[in-house]
Amino acid sequence: MTDLSGRTALVTGSVSGIGLAVARALAEAGARIALHGLAGDMEIREAREALLAAGAPQVEFFGGDLRHPAQIEGLIDAVEAWGGDDADRGGLGILVNNAGVQHTASLAEMPAETWDAILAVNLSAAFHTMRRALPAMARRGYGRVVNIASVHGLVASVDKAPYVAAKHGLVGLSKVAALEYAAVGEPAKGGVTVNCIAPGWTETGLIQPQVDAAAKAAGGDRDAGIAALLSAKQPSRRMSDPSEIGALACWLCAPLAHNVTGTTIPIDGGWTAQ
């Protein structure tokens, strides 16, 4: 049901965390993976080997700093060319905008340059990738964009102004793109869809500073610190594993999901149901 053989997928920020988990799920479904991220040779090599072992027929690393539109243009052009020119399954068929940065501080103490960087990577980069990728997807009659938003694209928290603003913007941007491309294609080919996934607390390096702070407040007890974090927001009191986000992303990329578009699906243990 999620056979993605012959498809080319670009997952931004895919050398670790949620991005790597999404790339692994797509690799298991047979997709060729365009790796991306700001990482050293060792981390890139380990990610590539993991994806090949998971079943990806090809894995190639592509660089590009998502704060700079010109580098994003080059990234999309390179992946589109790497995807080949097959009329049905060539080019870039799957785009997962996952790369993100975070910094916690009050509005009064948030550096202006930090605001600019978070908005650039978490929001503007998705605009630039979609602007370039969606027209080619439409010509082929199949395309999948999955934007990794956050519960903070649906609700707010203190000390996260740029992150919350960016993720709310990403949800809105995705709805516009979904509407503009909703009538493209047909069920058999899969059409072109744009959706968001909104993870809650998930075991990744991005939240490690918050986990460390909570553990310190709990006298150095990491489990107690995590429990305190979850009890405040996530009713299930369970962390999500990145593989759970990967599994949902993979399903959204399948042709059978042709009528699932413009949605934001939380994986948050009931956080946004409150």
Structure tokens at 207: 């939240």
Structure tokens at 112: 């202006």
Of 20, 99, 153, 163, which residue is the catalytic one?
A: 163
Read off the pLDDT of each residue in 230-241 and give the average, rounded to a whole number. Answer: 88
- 35, β-bridge pairs: 61
| 155 band by pLDDT with thresholds 50, 70 and 90 | very high
pLDDT at 88: 82
Q: In what order do the strands lie in the sheet with 94-97?
A: 59-62, 32-36, 8-11, 94-97, 142-148, 191-199, 264-267
* Architecture, CATH, for domain 8-203+240-273: 3-Layer(aba) Sandwich (3.40)
For 9-13, 23-27, 130-134, 186-190, which range has the lowest pLDDT when averaged over its residues? 186-190
DSSP sequence for 80-138:
HHHT---TTT-S--EEEE-------B-TTT--HHHHHHHHIIIIIHHHHHHHHHHHHHH
| CA–CA dist 138, 111 (Å, integer) | 40
For a pLDDT cut of 90, what percent of the chain falls above it? 82
- For 130, how many CA atoms within 13 A lie in the half-sphere containing its CB? 25
pLDDT tens, 33-69?
999 998 899 999 999 999 999 999 999 999 999 999 9
For a pLDDT cut of 70, what percent of the chain falls above it? 99
Query: pTM of this prediction?
Result: 0.94
Q: Is residue 206 predicted with pLDDT exceeding 80?
A: no
Per-state percent for the chain, helix, strand, coil, to nearest 5: 50, 15, 35
Q: Is residue 258 predicted with pLDDT exceeding 90?
A: yes
Contact 196, 154 (CB under 8 A): no
pLDDT at 222: 82
Contact 6, 84 (CB under 8 A): no
| CA–CA dist 261, 259 (Å, integer) | 6
| Residue 163 annotated to the active site | yes
pLDDT at 153: 98
pLDDT tens, 156-171?
999 999 999 999 999 9
The domain locations on the chain are 8-203+240-273
